[in-house]
Amino acid sequence: MRRLTLDNPPLNPLADTLLEALVAALDRAEADRVEALVLIGAGDTFVAGADIRRLEVLARGESRGASTSPPGVAPERPRPALGELIRRLEDWPAPVVAAIDGFALGGGLELALGCHHRVATDEARLGLPELALGLIPGAGGTQRLPRLIGLEAAMELMLSSRQLEAEEALARGLVDELAPRVELLAVATRAARRLTGAPLRRTRLLGDRVETGEAAQALADAARGALTREQRLARFPTLCLDATLAGALEGAERGLEVERACFRECLEDPAAAAMIYLFFAARTAKKAGAKLRGAEAEPLLRRLLEPLAEATAWLASQGASLQEIEGELEAFGWSLEPVMDFYMEIIGAQRVGDARRDPSASASSASGQGSCSVPREEWLPRLLYPLVSGACQALAEGAAARASDLDLALHLGAGFPKLRGGPMKWADRLGPAAVLEALARWHQASGAVVFQPSPALEARAKRGCGFTDE
C-alpha cells in the first residue's frame, strides 16, 4: 500500500505542479506494482479546488485562445489534463481510496469521485461549486456525481453550488464511511487493504443510482423549470443540465464528451469572466477592509445610483412607463427591489413616483404601445451608460479605491446581476470610447444633463484604458 499526499499549501489547489507530481507518483506506483493507493491531502484539507491563478486568468477575460481544460490549467505550457488523470485513477487495477478531510470542492471532489472508495472526516465539506463562478464541472463531475447520489440530487447540488457536510454525504452515498480526523489515514488504509482482490467500483461505470430514459428527461425538465430568474439569463446552468442529462441518456462516455464541449462553451461566455471577477473583487475588498455593504456603503450607493435614476426620469419624460423601464432592467437581470425606495427618492419627480403607483396617473405611465420616442433597443444603454460615466468620476475622486469595489458595492447593495459582474465590468466589453461617443451624441441631441460625459470618462477614453484597469 502506498500513500500519496497532495501537498500544495494552504488548501492544496490543483496547480500544475501538484498535478505533475501526482502523475509522476502514479508512474512510480505503476512501475512498482503497488497493491493499493491512498490519496490524502496535506494539512486539514483534501483539495479545495482549482488553482487560483487560473481563475485570475479567466477573470481577466483571457480564456479565448488559452487552454480550455478544466480549472487548474496553466495556458503557458502543456500539462496533465485533470480528466485524464482521474480516469487513470478510476481504471487503476488496484484499490484507490480517497481520504478526505476539510474541503473536497470542484476538481478536488472530481478527483475523489474517480477513486474506488471514499473515507471522510466529520469536518469534511464536499461540493461542486463551479456554477457559482459561471462554469460547470469540467473533469467528469457531471457524470460521476449522479452515479453515486442519483440524478435529481446531483443536479440540485451542482445548480445550488452548496457544500455537503460529511453526514449528509454519507447518507447520500457520496462517501462510503466516516472516520475521526486522527484516524483518517488508518481507516483509509484498512479500507484499501480490505478492497485488495475484490471487484472495484469504478464510478463512471455504475448504473444502479442514475435514472435513465423518460425518468431522466423528466428530472432534467423539472430542474430547468426550477431555475432562478437570473439563472435563466445565463447559459451555464442549462449547459450543466445538458451534460448531466447526456450521460444519463447516452452513457458516461458520451456524457464526458458533452461535458467537455459545454465546459469550453462556458469559458467563452462573458458570465464566467464576470462572476470570477466579482469573486476576486470580494477577496480584494476583504483584504483591504473596504466597507461595501450596509449603512457604511449607502452614500456610495446613492452617488452611483443617481445617474441611473436621472436617466429613468428622462426616459419617463419621453413616454416610457416606469413599469416598462423596470421590465427592461429585469430582462437584463437587475431587479431594483432592494433599493426601490431609495431609488424613487433619488428620482424625486412626484409625477414619476405617482406613475409607478398608479399607471393611469399620467401619460408617462402608458402601458407601452409605442408611446416612447426613444427606440426600445436604446433604453438599456441610456440607463446604464450614465451610471458607468458617474462611476468613473466617483472612482477618480476617490470614492472607492478600485473599479471592482464599485461593481461589488452595486452587486451587494443594489442587486446588480452577478452574471454581468457590475457596470464597470459589463462596460469593459464596449470600452470607454464607445460609451463616451454615445453619451456625447445623446447629450448633443437632447441637451439632457444626465447624458453629459463625466471628465473621468473622457480621460479614460483618451488614455485608451478599460473600465476595470486600475
Catalytic residues: 110, 130
Q: Which three cell numbers stand for residue 212?
A: 435513465
Collect all residues with Cβ–Cβ distance below 8 Å to 453 and sequence separation of at least 6: 389, 435, 436, 439, 440, 443
What are φ and ψ of residue 61, in 5° steps?
A: 75, 30
Give CB contacts under 8 A, 24+ apart, made by 17-26.
19/72, 19/79, 19/80, 19/82, 19/85, 20/79, 20/80, 22/80, 22/85, 23/80, 23/85, 26/85, 26/88, 26/89
- Which spans in 333-469 are helix H? 340-347, 350-357, 379-396, 403-414, 423-428, 432-446, 455-463
Distance CA 98, CA 117 (A): 6
Distance CA 450, CA 314 (A): 8
Helix (H, G, I), strand (E, B) or coil at 201: coil
Looking at residue 180, what DSSP letter applies?
-
What are φ and ψ of residue 224, in 5° steps?
A: -65, -40
Distance CA 466, CA 470 (A): 9
Q: Which three cell numbers stand for residue 113?
A: 469521485
Distance CA 219, CA 155 (A): 9
DSSP 231-299: HHTSSHHHHHHHHHHHHHHH-HHHHHHHHHHHHHHHHHSHHHHHHHHHHHHHHHHHHHT---SSGGGHH
Collect all residues with Cβ–Cβ distance below 8 Å to 155 and sequence separation of at least 6: 146, 219, 220, 223, 240, 241, 244
Strand partners, 100: 120
What are φ and ψ of residue 209, in 5° steps?
A: -105, -20
